[in-house]
Amino acid sequence: MSVLRIVQVVCMVVSASVVMPDNYEDGIDVNYADAYYNEISEGEQSEADTHTVTPAVPCTAPEFSKWDKLFTMLENSQMKENMLLQYSDDIVKLGLQSVRAEMLEIAAQSRASCAAAVENSLRRAEAHIEEKLLQALEQLRGVSAQQQARHDAVLEQILEATKEQEAQLDKVGKNCIHDQVKSFQTRHLEKEDRGQAFAAELRNLNEKLDFYTRATAGQVLPAGCDMALFFPMRSPKTHAEVTPQRSMKTRAFTVCLWIKPTQMLNKTVLFSYGTATNPLELQLLLSGRSALFTVGGEAHLVEAPGAATEGSWAHLCGTWSSEQGLASLWVGGQRAASSPGVAEGHEIPAGGVTILGQEYNGEGLAKRLGFQETFNADEAFTGKLSGVNAWDRVLDEDEISEQARPDGRTCGSRGNLVAWGVSQIVEGGGVKLIN
């Protein structure tokens, strides 16, 4: 409706602008008469003459030509045209505003209707999809039930076939086992006969090897040792006295030696150093198969079990430090036992006697100079003894391992207190130095 109004107004304005100049041109009556002057009556003229003598001046009006009138009409027509245009603009603006409002209203209505339509279509699509999904689930359930039934049937068939196979295998296995048992028993009897013969031959070889070992045991020495002291029996006189290379006064001590005992009783003395005040200053001895090392008396000792075996060579070392009070026993080059607090702060005095294979008691030590020497036969060592060395320091682990090497080229490195092969040794009571 508003658009039609706007079109009608525009048409009226255009027709008015075209028609109005023609109307003006037709309605103008061009008058070409003479100019107008003020006309005064005779009475008025006489009165004027009486009062003033000034002659009357006619009142003149401007004369307009035809073009002036045309221009005037054009100006008037332009003013009217401008007024009509302004009015038409106002009408157009109002029409456009009303059209805009109507369009916005139409758009709002269409938006609401479209949203409702979209929502309705989505709901219908959702319902349709849900219905299709339910139908598909029902179909899947039916198919899965059928497949499950088929699988169960197949499994039953497999189980039946497996049971039949197991029964057949059981029969075959029993037959095979029976045959194998028979053959095994036969072979076992044959092997048993051969094994008995082989065991008899092995016993004969062991007996021969043991015979040769016993026959040559008296002549074998540790590697690198070319001599040994042989103590043939327990006696109150069997011993060997060693003269040290220097004073035995020390606050640290290490003694190492090789032994091959033939008897090991409750107490078997290997190395002993004693003074007039304390006959048991230093001792390395055996108690059964255990090795003991004492410093400053039997109350301070360290013990290593399983250190020696009758008829076999063994290497023993005893170390002690007064500063730390730590005493250790080494068997075969390995630390076997340690004990702290052994004669800590003690000092070994000089002026004592060093004995191998025995120990001095108080009475025997007192009788040493010019009197009959007495020892305890129960404490005497029997067997072979070699590689006796002593130091006034504690040897480290590598040095002790080197002393105990069974394949060494020498019989251990020589000590600075007692040096095997250098220090003087006096045998007594049947002890012999053998090669």
Residue 306's SS3 state is coil
Confidence band for 169, pLDDT divided at 50, 70 and 90: confident
Contact 379, 364 (CB under 8 A): no
Sign of the dihedral through C-alpha 207, 213, 214, 215: positive
Spatial CA neighbour of 383 closest among 310, 283, 316: 310
CA dist 294 and 318 (Å) reads: 9
Beta bridge partners of 348: 250
Determine the residue type at 376: N
Task: Determine the Cα angle at 403 with ends 399 and 405, to 5°.
Answer: 115
Residue 316's CB: how many other CB atoms inside 10 A?
25
- Write out pLDDT tens, residues 60-79: 556 667 777 777 888 888 88
Cβ-in-10-Å burial (0-12, 13-18, 19+) of 307 comes to buried
pLDDT digits (tens, 9 = 90+) for 74-108: 888 888 878 888 887 888 788 788 888 888 888 78
Q: Quick one: tokens of 69?
A: 């009138």
Paired strand residues for 329: 318, 337
- CA angle centred on 59, ends 53 and 64, rounded to 5°: 160
pLDDT per residue as tens digits for the range 102-126: 888 887 877 777 777 778 878 888 8
Phi, then psi, of 340 in degrees rounded to 5: -85, 165
Instruction: Give the angle subtended at the CA of 186 by the CAs of 183 and 192, to the nearest 5°.
Output: 135
DSSP string of 101-151?
HHHHHHHHHHHHHHHHHHHHHHHHHHHHHHHHHHHHHHHHHHHHHHHHHHH
Identify the DSSP state of 378. G
Closest CA relative to residue 292, chosen from 323, 246, 327, 251: 327
Please answer whether residues 387 and 399 qualify as being in contact, where contact means their C-beta atoms are separated by less than 8 angstroms: no
- Out of 92-96, 217-221, 343-347, the most confident range is 343-347
pLDDT band for 281, please (50, 70, 90 cuts): very high
The per-residue pLDDT for 29 is 47
DSSP state of 246: S
Average pLDDT on 379-397 reads 95
Q: What is the pLDDT of residue 59?
A: 56
The CA-based angle 15-19-23, given to 5 degrees, is: 155
Max intra-chain CA distance, the chain: 215
Q: 188 φ, ψ to 5°? A: -65, -40
DSSP 316-355: EEEEEETTTTEEEEEETTEEEEEESSSSTT--B-SS-EEE
| Integer Cα distance of 12 and 87 in angstroms | 12
d(Cα 219, Cα 235) in Å, to the nearest integer? 23
Please list, in sequence order, all residues whose beta carbon lies within 8 angstroms of the beta carbon of residue 379, skipping any fewer than 6 positions away: 267, 268, 269, 285, 358, 359
CA separation (Å) from 280 to 249, 301, 303? 15, 11, 16
Lowest average pLDDT, out of 60-74, 122-136, 240-254, 274-288, goes to 60-74
Query: From the centroid of its chain, how far is CA 90?
Result: 88
CA 89/CA 93 separation, integer angstroms: 6
Spatial neighbors of 73 by CB under 8 A, at least 6 apart, are 21, 24, 25, 28
250 DSSP assignment: B
Q: Which tokens is 369 given?
A: 């100079």
Output the six-digit token pair for 234: 């327990």
Place of tokens 């059209």: 99
Residue 218 reports pLDDT greater than 50: no
Parallel, antiparallel, or unpaired: how do β-strands 383-391 and 353-356 relate?
A: unpaired
Closest of 245, 266, 274 to residue 351, by C-alpha: 274
- What does the block give as tokens for 47? 């009165």
Range with lowest mean pLDDT among 59-73, 160-174, 321-335: 59-73
